[in-house]
Structure 1
Amino acid sequence: MTPTRRTILSLLLALPASGMTSGIAAAQTAPQPIRVLVPELPVLGERGADGEARGLVVEQAQAILDRAGIRATIELLPVVRLYAELARERPSDGLKIYGMVGVPIREPYKAIVPLALTMGVPLVAVARQGVTLAKPDDLRAVGPVAVTATGTQALVPAIQQYGITVQTVPSTLNGLRMLAHGRVNAVMGISSVIDVVARENNLTDQLGDRVQVSTMEAWLSCDPATRDAPETAILRDAAEALYREGRLDAIARQHFQKAATGS
């Protein structure tokens, strides 16, 4: 075999190995996927008729991703599962998970890392018809109050301050049904969520007096392993900038107004 033919053959034999090596390197350096978790609740995060996620927090999350120039999958999850996913330990080089959660964060979810404030949400107590609730202090004597498990996280200070007797319920709808049957005398939670759930289930006529008892802060957060990821700093900066500019508040106002009018 001549030197020229030998050289050509050697090059041809080397090509597949070289291509395979490049493929392995590309796979090793491919960016890990990013998930952004949003609470599946009326107004905040719902699935439209087309199956797509929509709602106040979905729009806020997308605005943050757009500003950051980061692509991610926005997923709706039941609130308890969302908190559990964010608090779960995972490898630092694995899937990066962010979420929009209410603070303060309490056990068993203390591992969640808050990154940037996205909005403040009024929390109210709504009494059933015939029960007087003119001021927060009336909660001391109002009797059992329905609060969801995740709502309890944000309402602990108010519950302790007013000595509220809490009946933990799995959902706002469950609490409103208990209200309608006289098993609790009030429900506590996000005002617009209570109103929308009541309206969609023909329970609006059961609602009476209401008072604001607290404000819940919502924060862009991440799981512990993602705290120091490069994307985390970028997303934090994007969220902080949008909050300063009033963009996140504008999104919230728009959705809360729609919820209030039923549009």
Structure 2
Amino acid sequence: MHTGAYSDFKNNLLDQASELRARIRSGAHTAPTSGLANSLLQGNVVILPSEWAGDFLLYCQNNPVACPLIGMSQPGDPSLPDLGHDLDIRTDVPEYQVFRNGERAEKVTDLKSLWQDDLVTFVLGCSFSFEAALIRAGLSVRNVDEGRNVSMFRSNIATRPAGRFSGNMVVSMRPFSGADAIRAIQITTRLPKAHGAPVHIGDPSLIGIRDVNQPDFGDPVTIRPGELPLFWACGVTPQLALENARLPFAITHVPGKMLLTERLNEELAVL
């Protein structure tokens, strides 16, 4: 792409992200973010007291496929300037999940009344980021086509523990024909910060999923005769680790409702 055209393309995307974050900040958009601001990196969010930040950072380093770290804040700082010039983590996610003693206690649309001076924000890459690349390649992404949240499942794939953090991987599922599945693998392999290649293909029962039409998070999508379900590592994985760690207090995004950054997917692609 010509330099001037690329600059215009990027500026248009950044304007989209800023406008959408403004709608999220005002409470006008509380829906899932799949299919929005195509080509921009979306992020899973984990916010916890600084006392536990070291262990959680190690958990991410131990599990880079499920927890690809793309941003981390200073304690008490709600900004993440490397991910967005005006980003405020207290208001810029469509909906937050609050954990208390490992339990999903409540959902809120902003964190102004919950914010503490010792909170550290972690932002992890998201599979929504590679959906635009799949669509540009001419592939059908079923959850986008059907206007639904992606299907997410608890699996039996163990993660590598760190301190109090441990648990099995959560996976997201998208169905493809055989030929399209090969292409999807090729495309997503280049995007390790968006979870990279699938961790499983085919029979869901082999990774502990009893019914592929009954997701643990998100919505079911149509799987047509002859299609293969492809399963990618999912950034909801840390939410299971939070349940197991039973921290007194922590916050995440609600599955499917991500943080929109100002980084382009291709900036983190592997050539």
Question: TM-score, normalising length from structure 1?
Answer: 0.24
> Which protein has the bigger helix share?
1
Question: TM-score, normalising length from structure 2?
Answer: 0.24
